[in-house]
Structure 1
Amino acid sequence: MAFIEDGIDLDASDFAASVPLKKVPNGDVFEASRAGDVERLRYLLESGVNVNARDQWDSVALYYACLAGHLDAARMLLESGAICSEHTFDGDRCHYAALNLKVRKLLKAFEARPPPLAPLQAALRDTFLSSPANRSFYDLSDTDFHLPGISSTQGSSRGYFPPDVVFIVHGRPIEAHRVILSARSPFFKKKFETDWKDRSEVRLPREKLSYPALYSLIHFFYSDRLEIAVDDMEDLVRICKVCNLESLQKILEKEVIHQKYAEYKALKDVDNSQKRYILQGLSLPVEDRLPAALHLILQTALSNSTLGNGQDDAVDKLIAGIGAMKMGRSIDDLADVCVRVDGKNFRCHQVVLASRSEYFKTRLLRMKDFHEGEDELYLDLLPCIEEHDLSTDAFEKMIEYMYTDGLQDINPDQAEEMFDVASRYLLFPLKRAVADVLLPHLEMVSPEELCHWLILADLYGVFKIREYCLDTIACNFETFADTKEFRAMLLTFPPPSGDSSLRTTVPSMPGSDLKSDQGNLLDDLREKWLEIEAAELDKRDESALQFDKQLEMLMLVAEQEKSDNSEADADGMDDLKTLGLSPDSTLISGDAERTVIS
């Protein structure tokens, strides 16, 4: 199959190794890339290694894959987020070091096309670009630099959420939200607490301030991805210095030096295109990335949240405010909405809730002129919405995910409520986050409990847990077949689809069509069992019939056990009637009390 991108095609034969492949079972990402060990490389990337990390020679993994001519390794790195722009330091090194034209063709196909953003960054970026003013400049600056999945009209009206501050630079506006800027920069945080506290519009002086550089920085605050023209990088370095962004400033200063050398070597009469620089948030320390910044501001808001109802809540809030002032701590956490859940007021931020959930966006856009209360004891009056049929623990976990894109831990007993919350509030990626936390717990549960998790995962469409349960059952089918709970579970499943004789030679590839809506559970279990027991095609038909017969026998046993239980329950009722008792009667002997239940 040919790989085609912008007219650049690569045949399957092009992916043959140019140098002998090696195995590095314990190697790092650089050694795996240099050796072309795609299995080791895949393991490291799935484990979360930084694909753009540098080694002691200031080289990235993609450089070694290109140098050795390993196309498979290079493509895996590019698809995992390795940045390769021909006009950046790393991009130039990869292009110049490419062993052959095949590698260079691959680099050209992926050039300047960063990977998709994570859900949090993508949601906030969409909110930033939903502003017509912000979008118009982005489209203008993006004339020669088109990113995948971004149309010229995306966000122009759909999903627009109003800003609470507008910066005017050189007569052009940049619309933003205070909480995002305060979370990312100490400079903005201090300004919003002092000089800009009550201002919705801030006019910045023209001298020594570049509109494109400031726009790129604010866009970076929302998306954790910096996209800037090389000509504006020095201006951005000066802005980073003012905003106390030390880690970003150091990276940009280093890249400016690299760009000067690249410009010295370039043939200006040949290459006169607009050069742009891309920086992923993963290149920054963890504490300087978007999730960590929002997590800190969430912790501050949660510490200011209050318990209680009605007037008691007002008193609690007054006490909390006085205590905060005595400690020299401001209660101003930039929260602009209160969410009341089961008697507790959670101080939150509208832009985060609206960006992550269409449910909250709709409610907040319709919310006008109603507050927590009009009592003078309130130190601040925030718009308030109330959520019902929801525990405070579940809501706290939900907003933890909304602000950070992850969960630290979760009680397995909360899982079902969290899956329900994800569906109710249209936060479907939350299911995957809960599943990631739960998987280590599932490795230690009994077969009986694993059956419960399978039913739950299938009910709520949690693909990762569903697949894990099916894989475990298929690998240990005899063990599960001996448990009464598994046999009883089989009776609750829909019958297999189609004629079994037709299903023996044509596997259904469960989960390949839809990611959220799974197929028939028995069909999927059957296919996974066949993958283990009948890897060879000539044995597949025989093994499939064998599995179907086992399944029929187990269902017959389950039907008999169900019938026996029903008869036992009926006999118990008859015994109670013989004694003249009802099922909920109470027998009292001396001081002891015993309840008879059927």
Structure 2
Amino acid sequence: MSDLDDIDLDPEDFLPSIPLKKVPHGDVFEASRAGDVDRLKYLLDSGVNVNTRDNWDSVALYYACLAGHLDAAKMLLESGAICSEHTFDGDRCHYAALNLKVRKLLKAFEARPPPLGPLQSALRETFIGCVANRAYLEQVDGQAQFTGNVSNGGTSPSYFPPDVIFCLHGRPIEAHRVILSARSPYFKKKFETDWRDRNKIRFSREKLSYPAFYSFVHFFYSDRLEIAVDDMEDLVRICKVCKCESLQKVIEKEVRHQKYADYKSLQDIDNSQRRYILQGSSLPEDDCLPAALSRVLEISLNNSIQEEKDDDLVTQFGSVKISGFEDDLADVNIKVEDKVFRCHQVILASRSEYFKTRLSRMEDFLEGNDGLHDYNLPLVKEHDLSMEAFEKMIEYMYTDGLKDINPEQAEEMFDAASRYLLFPLKRAVADALLPHLQMVPPSRLCHWLILSDMYGVSKIREYCLDMIACNFEAFAETKEFRAMLLTLPPPSGDSSLRTTVPNAPGAEMKMTDGNVLDDLREKWLEVEAGELDKRDESALLFDKRLEMLMLVAQQEQSVTDYE
């Protein structure tokens, strides 16, 4: 609640409200209207668009505000619901708010848009990392937001060279072809035809607004539109030319709302300081950044080359520079085992510091076709990695998700995430792996506990520790669990000195220094000794049981070595 201290709301205000009724099968609108936070959380966790509209053109936040369900409204806001005043949805929610508490909550979130996803955040930093783009943003915001020294021609840590520069009224906007082509049919066609060999493109139209075009390109990278109200009509025209129909419809509706709001106002409104913010989640999923890059990746994979060796002859598969080849704007080849993947430098560099560093040294690459006929893209060879694992890795880098994963691949994926400095990939692999772990025997669960502890995958580690703590005696009967105990670091310190004070209800569990046996002990106490007067006795029993299991494991190991 520390983020909301300044709006005079008590913690009791956010206790779950009593819904008029439970809606176990209701949609997001019904759950918000009833205040059924359990159903609402389930729907949001399932990926429901928090800004989707019903048949009456209303969003879920509107119903939560109308009914005065503060806890439901807060959950929607934290999930990215739009609430800015002077916008269509924002004004409806402010006017519909049942009481002052709901209105204060909306005001608190108004100037605090939700954080971007990892993909959007990484590409936005790349866009803002370009010197010209960063300079304009600093001029608009009136403050320096990056550590790069612009005045001395320095670059920010997120800088990656653009491959196209637009000039409007003598001012540049730096960008990357693959991002623009993925988001707009207009740009895709232009880069395949008129602009194929052009790195600098000048627009001579007097009516083309630089701020509107800047906000438009920024949206392509970040899935978040931030634009001055005065520039919105210019943006509508840009959307129409670039064939961004879903964005155009939303902006047109907002322009009509702004004109109506200005007409109803009793005084002139200065729009120069008013800004409109739109989250990409308000648009259809197919028009958002992950879906756009997913289509690019699919084309690139179809164009990639598989080499098959037979009788010392190399046969190449793939449609490179032949009839039917669909241009994917790839600018680098990555060879893994016998497959050459067509990739895009800006995406690899934005998502991975490893690739960013390696791609910055173009002169070290193997130039020329290198066995690839009629091909001259730079070639990078990656070793100690299977092509299946690399394909799943770039799937995450392009889309922020994994559709499915073979559990047998998970260990290699954890290793790849560490080696390629792509740490969020571990969480994505963990999410895909968890359903499989619910069906594995205790011996395999011990294996995953060791791996998750080694690679720092906290979600899998916590799940394994919970399962062992809740079924400790069943695990104790298995030879694999006892053998695992001998491979783990010993518990920290004297057992009599370790705390047995329980955690407060609902508080985050207090772990020691990441010692698996200490953490297992704490979790076991949470399960078996909830009452304070039983914890000291239970802790000693657990420590003695652990010592006995280790003695048995040592005896079993001695027998095995002797045999």
Match of 1:45 in 2: 44
d(CA) in 1 for partners of 2:28 and 2:376? 52
The CA RMSD measured in Å over matched residues stands at 3.0
SS at match of 1:173: strand
> What's 2:560 paired with?
565
Q: Using the TM superposition, name which of 427-436 and 532-541 deviates more.
A: 532-541
Partner of 2:253: 254
Aligned to 1:216: 215
CA spacing shift, 1:123–1:20, aligned 2, 3 Å:
closer
Q: Deviations over 1:79-105 (max 9, x none)?
A: 221121112111111211222222222
Cα distance in 1 for residues equivalent to 2:377 and 2:148: 31
Verify the 8 A CA contact 2:181 2:191 in the aligned structure 1.
yes
Aligned equivalent of 1:430, options 425, 431, 436: 425
Structure 2 CA distance for partners of 1:19 and 1:299, relative to 1, 3 Å: closer
Equivalent residue number for residue 79 of structure 1: 78
User: Using the alignment, how far apart are the partners of 1:545 and 1:376 within structure 2?
Assistant: 67
Q: How far does residue 460 in structure 1 lie from its aligned partner after superposition?
A: 0.6
Pairing partner for 1:497 from 476, 492, 495: 492
Question: Using a 3 Å threshold, how does the CA distance of structure 1 residues 4 and 151 change in structure 2: closer, same or farther?
Answer: farther
Q: What CA distance in whole angstroms lies between the structure 2 residues aligned with 1:541 and 1:29? A: 47
SS at match of 2:491: coil
Partner-residue secondary structure (3-state), 2:360: helix
Whole-Å separation in 2 of the counterparts to 1:244 and 1:518: 55
User: Distance in 1 between the 2:398 and 2:313 partners?
Assistant: 27
* 8 Å CA contact 1:32, 1:38 repeated in 2: yes
Listed as ranges, the matches of 1:9-408 within 5 Å are 9-15=8-14, 22-142=21-141, 151=145, 153=147, 157-268=156-267, 274-308=273-307, 320-321=319-320, 324-325=322-323, 327=324, 329-330=325-326, 332-368=327-363, 370-373=365-368, 378-408=373-403
Q: What do the CA deviations read for 1:335-375 (whole angstroms, capped 9, x no partner)?
A: 11111222322211110110011111111112227444368
Q: Distance in 1 between matches of 2:124 and 2:548?
A: 55
Distance 1:521 1:392, change over 3 A: same
1:537 aligns with 2:532: yes
Change (3 A) 1:229 1:153: farther
Gaps of 5+ in 1: 570-598
Q: What amino acid does structure 2 have at the position aligned with 1:457?
A: S
- Measured in 1, the distance between the counterparts of 2:126 and 2:540 equals 54
SS in 2 for 1:497: coil
Contact 2:230–2:271, Cα closer than 8 Å, also in 1: no
What amino acid is aligned across from residue 76 of structure 2 in structure 1?
A: L
Scaled by the length of structure 1, the TM-score of the pair is 0.86
SS in 2 for 1:167: strand
Which structure's CA Rg is the greater one? Answer: 1
Q: How has the CA–CA distance of structure 1 residues 198 and 552 changed in structure 2, closer, same or farther, with 3 Å as cutoff?
A: same
Cα displacement (A) at 1:199 = 0.4
Percentage of identical aligned residues: 73
State the AA in 2 paired with 1:151. Q
- Cα distance in 1 for partners of 2:312, 2:243 equals 38
| Aligned mates of 1:125, 1:313 — CA distance in 2 | 47
3-state SS in 2 of match to 1:226: strand
Deviation of residue 221 (structure 1)? Answer: 0.8
Kept in 2, the 8 Å contact 1:24–1:35? The answer is: yes
Number of equivalent positions: 555
SS at match of 1:196: coil
Residues in 1 aligned to 2:290 and 2:313: alpha-carbon distance in whole angstroms: 32
Report the 3-state secondary structure (helix = DSSP H, G, I; strand = E; otherwise coil) of the residue aligned with 2:215.
helix
- Post-superposition shift, 1:299? 1.8
Aligned-partner SS, 1:102: helix
Task: Tell me, yes or no, if the aligned pair for 1:19 and 1:68 is still in contact at 8 Å.
Answer: no
Q: 1:10 to 1:448 in 2, by over 3 A?
A: same
Residue deviations 1:438-466, cap 9 Å, x none?
A: 11111111111111111111111111111
CA distance in 2, matches of 1:318, 1:52: 44
Amino acid at match of 2:145: S
Task: State how far apart, in whole Å, the 2-side matches of 1:387 and 1:476 are.
Answer: 43
Distance 1:520 1:18 in 2: 40
TM-superposed deviation, 1:566 = 2.6
Distance change >3 Å, CA 61–CA 384, structure 1 → 2: same
Partner of 1:585: none
Question: 2:334 is paired with a residue of what secondary structure?
Answer: strand
Displacement of 1:285 after TM fit?
Answer: 1.8
3-state SS, counterpart of residue 363 of structure 2 = coil
What TM-score results when the alignment is normalised by the length of structure 2? 0.91
CA contact 1:2–1:9 (8 Å) conserved in 2? no
Structure 2 segments unaligned to the other structure (5+ residues):
150-154
CA contact (8 A) 2:262 2:268 kept: no
Residue 443 (structure 2) pairs with residue 444 (structure 1)? no
Are the equivalent residues in 2 in contact too, given 1:248–1:284 (CA < 8 A)? yes
For 1:543 and 1:488, how far apart are their aligned partners in 2? 24
The aligned residue for residue 468 of structure 1 is 463
- Which residue identity does 2:557 align to in structure 1? K
Cα distance change on mapping 1:2 and 1:292 into 2, 3 Å: closer
| 1:55-88 superposed Cα distances (whole Å, 9 cap, x missing partner) | 2322222222222323222222222211211121
Distance 2:346 2:258 in 1: 36
Shift of 1:522: 1.3
